[in-house]
Amino acid sequence: MASLIKVKNLTKKFGDLVAVNNISFEIQEKEIFGLLGPNGAGKTTIINMLSCYLEPTSGEAWIADKSIIKEPQEVKKIIGLVPQEIALYPNLTAIEHLKFFGRIHNIPSKKLEEKCKELLNLVRLYERRNDLVKIYSGGMKRRLNIACGLLNDPKFLMMDEPTLGVDPQSRELIFENIFKIRERGVAILYTTHYLEEAERLCDRINIIDEGKSLALGSLDELLTRLEAKIEIKPTKAGRLEQLFIQLTGKRLRD
């Protein structure tokens, strides 16, 4: 199967700081690909380059054969982004948010009405569509953020810490959304600080630190290939944590 996303030797420097250092990976259609690393590892910088918000210092990436460097406007038409920071307006309702962002995407009015209903049902907010966002819980805001990222029917959705600060019930609803999104054929890049999320959601994982890729593969492949020399915990998430410590000398959430 041909890869939908191809990242080759992607590098980003800010002065003397190398934020992303020669990163390469590929993502298949319908794959959930995890980027795992501590704060400052380079995860958000990678997302910003793939979103065409930051130009790479060197290297290249293609999304559905569109170059992020040569064809950024074409790339933006086929990607969606769920940013770490909640990008919502407190004095607008959920339906007003979707209509506002839908007009930015130039979605025709009739199609936009249908799309708003579909996405609000997907994230279980249709009954609360006319409520102001300022009275939403953190989990509801996160789910609305996801709906906004899906308005343009992206082929590739980037989700940067989408469960940050939400309660367990909201986290379960977000997981449910993610699996439904994958069923639509969307490739997902997912960053998280939660190792149990990586175990549960991701088909493959790229462990990065200080801008470098340290290990790439499925969780089972990584644990087989890079067995920790210290005591292994019984759960896969626990084993992944031990592996992460072995590779980086750090805990994921210090």
**For the chain, how far is it from start to end, CA to CA, in angstroms?**
38
Q: What distance in Å separates the CA atoms of residue 170 and residue 183, rounded to the nearest whole number?
A: 20
Where along the chain do its domains lie?
A: 5-248
Correct CATH for 5-248 of 3.40.50.300, 3.90.440.10, 3.30.1490.20, 3.30.70.580: 3.40.50.300
Burial of 254 (C-beta count, 10 Å sphere; 0-12/13-18/19+): exposed
Distances 5 to 62, 72, 93, 198, 199 between C-alpha atoms, Å = 6, 14, 34, 20, 22
Per-residue pLDDT of the chain (254 residues; tens, 9 = 90+): 678 999 999 999 999 999 999 999 999 999 999 999 888 899 999 999 999 999 999 999 999 999 999 999 999 999 999 998 888 999 999 999 999 999 999 999 999 999 999 999 999 999 999 999 999 999 999 999 999 999 999 999 999 999 988 888 888 999 999 999 999 999 999 998 788 888 889 999 999 999 999 999 998 888 777 664 545 555 666 777 777 777 777 776 65
Single out the residue of 53, 109, 99, 94 nearest to residue 76, CA to CA.
53
